[in-house]
């Protein structure tokens, strides 16, 4: 359904996967990858969102490189890492805005979930954010997120990651609300991190994934009108 395209980013050129339902007025989504890169699961997920009626752009910050799960780091995201990646996400949102007229949201998973939530604080184009089991706490992050005024966030929390009661995820919600935004957090009892990833049958939870998907679609359809 989609194709890889180039776009200007941070003084250079980056690439990303664009899945477009051919309606320029459809709501837009930026799909951000984590520290494994733009893996096939995320490309197929971009197509899935497009079939649900969204114009989806998945920036590829690693320029085609992907990292095996056995090599990925589980270190908490740092402020430096997220700030740099958020700038690229903002550039991707600018590119998507130039191809249509619908409002734009952002969604990501694990460290990509952290980036999705933080990017909405950095780009005025991103008005709603969904983070699946974001990695937290974040070292070196600013205590306030002023860019969330009037925006909304949705966080899906895995039991393995500490649920919504974990200090890091709780701090995210508090910061968003302090900035004038709203943040809803959902817990999925008994789930492991990456429970939404049907390419990982060792952790995939079909019921939790279906519920999180339905909640995500409802959230974006409500906020991106």
Can you give the three-state secondary structure of 131-178, one letter per residue? EECCCCCCECCCCCCHHHCCCEEEEEEEHHHCHHHCHHHHHHHHHHHH
Tell me: domain 3-223, CATH 3.40.1390.30, correct? no
Q: What percent of the chain has pLDDT over 70?
A: 89
Question: How large is the average pLDDT for residues 35-49?
Answer: 92
Q: How far apart are CA 132 and CA 75, in angstroms?
A: 17
Summarised one tens digit per residue, pLDDT across range 161-174 is 888 988 888 888 99
User: Is 141 a residue whose pLDDT tops 70?
Assistant: no
Residues 6+ apart with CB under 8 A from 190: 159, 205
> Rounded distance, CA 23 to CA 10, Å?
28
Q: Which residues does 18 contact at the CB level (< 8 Å), separation at least 6? A: 2, 3, 4, 5, 56, 57, 58, 96, 99
pTM of the model: 0.92
pLDDT score for 3: 86
d(C-alpha 171, C-alpha 57), whole Å: 28
Examine the pLDDT at 74 and tell me if it is beyond 50: no
| Backbone angles phi and psi of 210, in degrees to 5 | -65, -40
Q: Are 135 and 77 in contact (CB under 8 A)?
A: yes
Share of the chain above pLDDT 90, in %: 56
């Amino acid at each position: 359904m989609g194709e890889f395209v180039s776009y200007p980013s941070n003084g250079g050129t980056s690439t990303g996967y664009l899945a477009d339902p051919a309606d320029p007025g459809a709501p837009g989504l930026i799909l951000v990858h984590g520290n494994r890169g733009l893996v096939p699961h995320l490309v197929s997920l971009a197509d899935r969102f497009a079939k649900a009626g969204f114009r989806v752009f998945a920036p590829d910050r690693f320029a085609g490189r992907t990292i095996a799960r056995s090599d990925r780091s589980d270190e908490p995201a740092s402020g430096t890492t997220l700030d740099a990646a958020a700038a690229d996400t903002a550039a991707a949102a600018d590119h998507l805005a130039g191809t249509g007229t619908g409002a734009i949201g952002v969604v990501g998973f694990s460290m990509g979930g952290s980036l999705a939530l933080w990017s909405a604080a950095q780009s005025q184009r991103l008005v709603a954010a969904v983070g699946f089991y974001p990695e937290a706490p974040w070292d070196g992050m600013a205590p306030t997120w002023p860019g969330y005024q009037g925006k909304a966030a949705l966080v899906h929390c895995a039991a393995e990651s500490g649920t919504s009661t974990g200090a890091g995820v709780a701090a995210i919600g508090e910061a968003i609300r302090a900035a004038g935004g709203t943040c809803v957090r959902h817990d999925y009892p008994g789930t492991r991190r990456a429970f939404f990833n049907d390419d990982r049958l060792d952790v995939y939870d079909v019921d939790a994934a279906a519920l999180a998907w339905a909640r995500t679609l409802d959230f974006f359809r409500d906020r991106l009108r």
